[in-house]
Amino acid sequence: MNLQPKQRFVVEGDYEILASYSAIREVVNGITIDSEKVATVDGAKVILKGMPMAKLANGKYVPYNAGGSDGSENPTVILKRTVDVSDGDHTVGGYEMAKVITERIPVTVDATLIGKMPFIQFG
């Protein structure tokens, strides 16, 4: 008798980024994304799940940019879900502390990023 679960369907784009549920801290009340600062790609402003997010001086968040000088170079949160901000700012969930699967983070995880996010474990 096989008691292993059988996968019935796959939801495209709903991949898991967390490597563990034992030590997670989510951002209380979420983060607001500054849609004006998000680049348009193929007519949409989509930010992928797992993207490191950085807080700007105006209190809103933008995707991590290693070469930035406006605050975008200092990420503090990992985005919880993929979001499209084409229609304006959105408030979404994020992780302040978590253990994540490095291969599923949509940017290159290097020593610089790891050093800037001490509460995120990349594994």
Average pLDDT for residues 61-85, to the nearest whole number?
96
pLDDT at 6 over 90: no
Q: Using pLDDT thresholds of 50, 70 and 90, give the confidence band for residue 15.
A: confident
User: How far apart, in whole angstroms, are the C-alpha atoms of residue 92 and residue 85?
Assistant: 10
Residue-level pLDDT at 17: 95
pLDDT at 40 over 80: yes
Residue-level pLDDT at 16: 93
Q: Which CATH class is domain 18-122?
A: mainly beta
Contact 71, 57 (CB under 8 A): yes
CA 58 to chain centre: 19
Average pLDDT for residues 60-79, to the nearest whole number?
97
The count of other CB atoms within 10 Å of the CB of residue 13 is 9
Q: Using pLDDT thresholds of 50, 70 and 90, give the confidence band for residue 96.
A: very high
User: How far apart, in whole angstroms, are the C-alpha atoms of residue 123 and residue 118?
Assistant: 13
In the chain, where are the structural domains located?
18-122
Contact 118, 52 (CB under 8 A): no
pLDDT at 5 over 80: no
Average pLDDT for residues 16-39, to the nearest whole number?
95
